[in-house]
Structures are given as C-alpha cells and as structure tokens.
Amino acid sequence: RRYQAALLVITPRIDPTGPADDELDAALEDVLYSLDQTPAGIVWESARRVVYADVLPAYEIAITVHTNHTRGE
C-alpha cells in the first residue's frame, strides 16, 4: 500500500524576512534529514514554501509512505 500525505513545518514567528526565515529554513533541514534517516518506507517528494493560516511562514513537505500488509498469526 502507498499513502500520500503532507507534513507542515511551521515557525511561530511572523516576520518572514528575518529571524522567521532563518528559523524555518533550519527546521526544514532538520526535518528532511530526519526523514532521510527513517527506515525504508517513508520518502519525501518535495518541499515548497507556503503560508499557514494566512500569517505564518511554513514549508509543506509531500511524503509517501509505503507499507506491506502482513497477516498476523
């Protein structure tokens, strides 16, 4: 099975031209690194800059989760 989802990385700061931008970019790097280190099955496809709730700078990361169904006994 394959599931697609979006993961949001949001900064609580609303000044996208200063500290909020730096904080958000650093958080994105941390999240992408963590996704790359997870066991097989979770793949990030893309990360795009968005605005959450009309004020908060954010990144939306498209992820795909692959699973195998096994029958328990």
- Verdict on whether the full-model pTM lies above 0.85: no
Phi–psi pair at 16, nearest 5 degrees: -70, -10
Instruction: Count other Cβ atoms within 10 Å, centred on residue 32.
Output: 15
67 Cβ contact list (under 8 Å, min separation 6): 1, 2, 3, 41
Q: Is the pLDDT of residue 16 over 90?
A: no
Res. 4: pLDDT tops 90: yes
pLDDT in tens, 40-57: 789 999 999 998 888 888
Partner residues linked to 19 by β-bridges:
none
Per the DSSP assignment, residues forming a β-bridge with 8 are: 60
